[in-house]
Amino acid sequence: MIKYALVCDASHEFESWFASSGSYDLQVKRGYVTCPFCQSPKVTKAIMSPNIGRKDKALAPTDQPANDTGAAPVAQPQAMALLDERQQALREMIKELHEKIIASSDDVGTAFSEEARKMHDGETPTRSIRGKASFEEARALLEDGIPVMPIPDLPEERN
Ligand SMILES: [Zn+2]
Mind listing the pLDDT tens digit for each residue in 71-112?
555 554 544 555 677 777 877 888 888 888 888 888 888 888
Residue 75 and residue 63 in contact, taking contact as beta carbons nearer than 8 Å? no
* Amino acid 146: pLDDT: 86
Q: What is the DSSP letter of 150?
A: P
* Amino acid 157: pLDDT: 47
Instruction: Give CA angle at 131 (129, 133), nearest 5°.
Output: 120
CA of 5 to the centre of ligand 1 (A): 13
Pairing of strands 106-109, 43-48: unpaired
Q: Does the pLDDT value for residue 144 go beyond 50? A: yes
* Amino acid 76: pLDDT: 46
CA of 30 to the centre of ligand 1 (A): 17
CA of 19 to the centre of ligand 1 (A): 22
CA of 71 to the centre of ligand 1 (A): 18
CA of 41 to the centre of ligand 1 (A): 8
Residue 32 and residue 79 in contact, taking contact as beta carbons nearer than 8 Å? no
Using pLDDT thresholds of 50, 70 and 90, give the confidence band for residue 31.
very high
Q: The whole model's pTM is what?
A: 0.39
- Contacts (Cβ under 8 Å, ≥6 apart) of 35: 6, 8, 10, 12, 14, 41, 43
CA of 68 to the centre of ligand 1 (A): 14
- Taking the CA of residue 145 as centre, how many other CA atoms within 13 Å lie in the half-sphere pointing to its CB? 2
Q: Does the pLDDT value for residue 140 go beyond 50? A: yes
CA of 38 to the centre of ligand 1 (A): 4
